[in-house]
Chain A
């Protein structure tokens, strides 16, 4: 048992540096090109779930011509089953601030914002205190980079970057049309880098350890480690930092309760992997990507209920502006209910699967596009549970 244990990593929550803000102070002295090169070399991809290469995002924003630019930390952690950013912000806020400041230096931004989900309001006093100290320290380093915290108002959609900008600007949280992308037209229409909380921490650790050591963790396509939020039918729920690229069966071996029938990887917008596919599933960008949420379900769970629950969530959390997402979510939920009740024949599920495919390619933003992930993976793998 003990030899099969997954390697624990201590990068995110590990020591920042022996003296306060040393990594930041050292990095601020480096040339922007060198910082970007290290990031590129590290292969770091965004930790919010979509996995956009961080160095490329920063480069695009750095190259965008504008006197005003912004760095935004997306702390609107709303994906069901994800609770790692809360932990990161409460345990290592300095790493988050430092990562943002480094980004500010590289892209030439004057200001940073942390968009904190309203449910994390309780973190505010501590974060504010820490920010004061941070401002003091960074002032001494001769770099002016104020960071401000903006609170969300409880909408899942505001975790989508352009909806987040709208929300910060005081409008309804609705995703914008893309292109243009945030790196050229972000917050207030200015070039903006928006990264997940964990991404900024990774940047700091890459700066501290160097890309070579960072790359020792993970696989070619998924470098580094990841903080996982483990929940569901597990005897040991909680936050775990693990290497990326692990096979799912080893994960289940360690965290399952011996009766795991499925793992939902990546929350409600992620994929459901059934037992028979555990062995062939890699957690990482080459396999099933995740923003950190790992939900385990044992055989006592009805996957119909699980799916119904997700669809309920999406139906309500869709911003409602685009047709595929607003109406599609309603149709999918009502559709599975109708099949379950026998109002519709089992074949209707195929119709719904096709609809979910259309949603995936036509919805305006990631929310509507990703509903099909859980829908098709649950319906396809647990069809009998949907019907009987």
Chain B
């Protein structure tokens, strides 16, 4: 333990570890210095200067987020000098910003706006620079709208894209008065390497980067008496939605969410978890099939390791970055798209509905799902399989619009069919979850026994943020038809965040990896940290959501995908068997190699 550093902040003495910033030291004392460009998940930029403080015997006011505490420092966070400077800075930001708040999607959830109200701005200290700027809006993308007129150039998005996702679709262009956040040659987002992950959207302090919202379209569908509107909800929504409606992080609100959706007027409230279970069956069999081709048939064409395919940002990332590794992706559609394809076929049949009158809506923790639903290959029902994708945030808007007091809602159950699920599906929402769910099923299919882990908790694959987690499982005592897997050590790897995905795939590409199965989630922490989740999202909040997901899993009566009776029924009545003809038609897909530029 190295020596503590002693300093004084606003007259209070505090001791901190070396390397602690003034900002963090102040937070220890419950003194909250305002920030804008600072974000817990990202490296320090120190460029907005909102967090400046006064340091005795210093000519300048240091940015507290970027300045490490030093022995004997005397800091004032709220001196006259600081207040004037801080107000100047916020006024400057406002002068460059299209502060048309009532027309902004982020009205009410904007960090600049709350700072402005805190500083009592509004006396028009400086000239309005906006009319002279030729700001552009990029709204040609399925998922993300980028409005430069609302940008305050804090570069959170740039750092997110580069550090967390290693995508670098967004970067800084030009300098001085013309400095802006842009893309490769200023192409619209849909023409560049952007994966639509929405991590930038989640971190944008203003309305410069927002999801393309479909709230009104969904209301229209609900109001249309000719339409039967079906909604599915992703696993990670039920543990985060409460946050967007005034509840603390980590609350499981599944029952309230279902009630709210019913009250919003959806004709059927179903569950993406159902198709998450289905994904496990299809993907599990696909893995076993690939292993058989490799081990028994010695087929040189078989692509191993096999990688999960439920994260659409991850898929687009691979299409751009490692197009030659696309055969390694499981051909399974994501649970959202399996659901969409089944709603307009199987569900319509069972419920005796004309698929043309069906509107399928999904609630996702994700922005990339909007892009996924718009992919041309996602029309295997003969219609657009998923018509509208709403983020967790958009659902919260609808609930608020409808005047519901969310935390006081009673709980209710999903409708059927396609509303039943297991704990294995719930954990799709966290990193390592698909891997764990798949192993629970594959191991049992192959050996006839449950996985050898207490309470089915396969903790070795439970990934954490900021690491690539490797694990292996020895398969013994196989059933006769799976004899080829006897003694095989199944090697798995789990990564979350595209920067870590890149590390794994580079290893695979270089031939340095002997994995069988790879799980990748594009967002830090998995879907629970998705780009469509409530703002703010940070490490602490993600940890609480993770805890909630595992709690929800443990509380489910069924915890293995193949035990889902509705899935069993689906195979019996409709699909016949895993990887069968119908499955290939509806549940599997192909991918598109894309260029880097």
Contact = CB atoms under 8 A, between A and B. Distances in A.
B92 A323 contact: yes
A358 B88 contact: yes
A157 B85 contact: no
A157 B175 contact: yes
A322 B63 CA distance: 11
Interface stretch (B44-52, B188-196, B267-275, B396-404): B44-52
B121 interface: no
A93 interface: no
Contacts of A256: none
B36 to A, nearest CB: 9
A101 to B, nearest CB: 34
B307 interface: no
Given A179-B68, A334-B127, A362-B61, A326 B176 contact: yes
Contacts of A323: 47-50, 89, 92-93, 152-153
A321 interface: yes
B409 interface: no
Among A324, A334, A351, A361: residue with most chain B CB under 10 A: A361
Contact of A319 (B67, B96, B176): B176
Interface in B152-186: 152-153, 155, 172, 174-179
Contact of A321 (B84, B88, B93, B153): B153
B85 A322 contact: no
A307 to B, nearest CB: 17
A351 to B, nearest CB: 7
Nearest to A314: B176
Nearest to B154: A323
Contacts of A318: 175-177, 179
Among A155, A326, A338: residue with most chain B CB under 10 A: A326
Interface string B229-266: 00000000000000000000000000000000000000
A315 B177 contact: yes
Contacts of B155: 321
Contacts of A331: 92, 95, 126-127, 129
Contacts of A289: none
B177 A324 contact: no
B95 A354 contact: no
Interface in A332-371: 334-335, 338, 344, 351, 354-355, 358, 360-364, 369
A220 to B, nearest CB: 22
Contacts of A354: 84, 88
A49 to B, nearest CB: 15
Contacts of A360: 60
A358 B84 contact: yes
Contacts of B145: none
B92 to A, nearest CB: 4
Among B44, B47, B95, B174: residue with most chain A CB under 10 A: B47
A320 interface: yes
B280 interface: no
B61 A317 contact: no
B408 interface: no
Given A179-B67, A315-B176, A316-B177, A358 B125 contact: no
A179 B176 CA distance: 24
Interface residues of A, number: 36
A330 B60 contact: no
A324 B45 CA distance: 15
Nearest to A320: B179
B81 interface: yes
A216 interface: no
Give the interface size class of chain B: 35 or more
Contacts of A330: 96, 129, 177
A310 to B, nearest CB: 13
Given A326-B179, A331-B95, A363 B127 contact: no
A355 B127 contact: no
Interface string A207-245: 000000000000000000000000000000000000000
B366 interface: no
B66 A319 contact: no
Contacts of B44: 177
B135 to A, nearest CB: 14
A55 interface: no
A327 B95 contact: yes
A338 B127 contact: yes
B129 A320 contact: no
Contacts of B45: 321
Contacts of A315: 176-177
A323 B89 CA distance: 7
A360 B172 CA distance: 24
A326 B177 contact: yes
B298 interface: no
B176 A362 contact: no
A105 B151 CA distance: 48
B153 A177 contact: no
Nearest to B60: A361
Contacts of A327: 92-93, 95-96, 129
Interface string B78-113: 000100110011001101100000000000000000
Contact of B177 (A177, A329, A335): A329
A115 B48 CA distance: 29
B352 interface: no
Contacts of A344: 127
B59 interface: yes
A328 interface: yes
Contact of A351 (B47, B61, B125): B125
Interface string B124-149: 01110100000000000000000000
Contacts of B176: 314-320, 326, 329
Contacts of A314: 176
Nearest to A180: B68
A364 B45 CA distance: 10
B47 A321 contact: yes
A355 B88 contact: yes
A177 B44 CA distance: 9
Given A355-B126, A358-B84, A364 B175 contact: no
A172 interface: yes
Interface string B555-593: 000000000000000000000000000000000000000
Interface string A295-320: 00000000000000000001111111
A324 B49 contact: yes
Contacts of B177: 315-316, 318, 320, 326, 329-330
Contacts of A335: 126-127
A324 B66 CA distance: 16
Given A179-B68, A355-B88, A320 B127 contact: no
B179 A319 contact: yes
Interface in B32-53: 44-50, 52
A256 B178 CA distance: 38
Contacts of A321: 45, 47, 153, 155, 172, 179
Given A316-B177, A317-B175, A319-B175, A362 B60 contact: yes
Given A155-B175, A172-B172, A326-B179, A362 B95 contact: no
* The 3 nearest A-B residue pairs measured at CB: A320-B179, A327-B92, A177-B66
Interface of A: 155, 157, 172, 177, 179, 314-324, 326-331, 334-335, 338, 344, 351, 354-355, 358, 360-364, 369
10 contacts: A318-B179, A321-B155, A323-B47, A324-B88, A328-B92, A329-B177, A334-B127, A355-B88, A362-B49, A364-B46
Interface of B: 44-50, 52, 59-61, 63, 66-68, 81, 84-85, 88-89, 92-93, 95-96, 125-127, 129, 152-153, 155, 172, 174-179
